[in-house]
Amino acid sequence: QVQVMESGGGLVQAGGSLRLSCTASGLIVDGYAMGWLRQAPGKEREGVSCIDWSGSTNNYPDSVKGRFTVSRDNAKNTLYLQMNSLKPEDTAIYYCAARSSIWCSGPGSPQDFVYWGQGTQVTVSS
């Protein structure tokens, strides 16, 4: 049984930083590209990062480029998202997910991912 679990969310002031972590069990993560997606209230879920199976290539949308950094440690079956210079518009539930490919073609859309965590809330106050 595949289980994906995020941690590290919380409340932070604008300009602050958070680091999200994601661990997977029942899944060998180096067989998948992995990503982070987010969903703000009243908005569609959107991809904010994708990293290929080896960690050599990653993709971000313009809204987070230069502020967010995705990384992975395949030996620990773990994915990370370092978020810096956070803005109130980054407030959302953040999901970790495994993609149905070892490669990323952009940050991805929800339909590109096959295994999901339950999400962790990130709230950025102004």
The percent of residues in the chain predicted with pLDDT above 70, rounded, is 100
- Residue 99 pLDDT more than 90? yes
Check residue 91 and give its pLDDT. Answer: 98
Per DSSP bridges, beta strands 120-125 and 10-13 are parallel
**pLDDT for residue 36:** 98
Contacts of 79 (CB under 8 A, 6+ apart): 21, 22, 24, 29, 34, 36, 51, 70, 71, 72, 96
- pLDDT value at residue 115: 96
Q: How far apart are CA 84 and CA 80, in angstroms?
A: 13
- Of the candidates 58, 69, 63, the one whose C-alpha atom is nearest the C-alpha of residue 91 is 63
Q: Which residue has the tokens 């049984």?
A: 1
Confirm if 119 and 95 have CB atoms less than 8 A apart.
yes
Band of the pLDDT at 27, cuts 50, 70, 90?
A: confident
pLDDT of residue 30: 86
Determine the average pLDDT of the residues in 47-65: 94
For CA atoms 50, 51, 57, 63, the dihedral sign is: positive
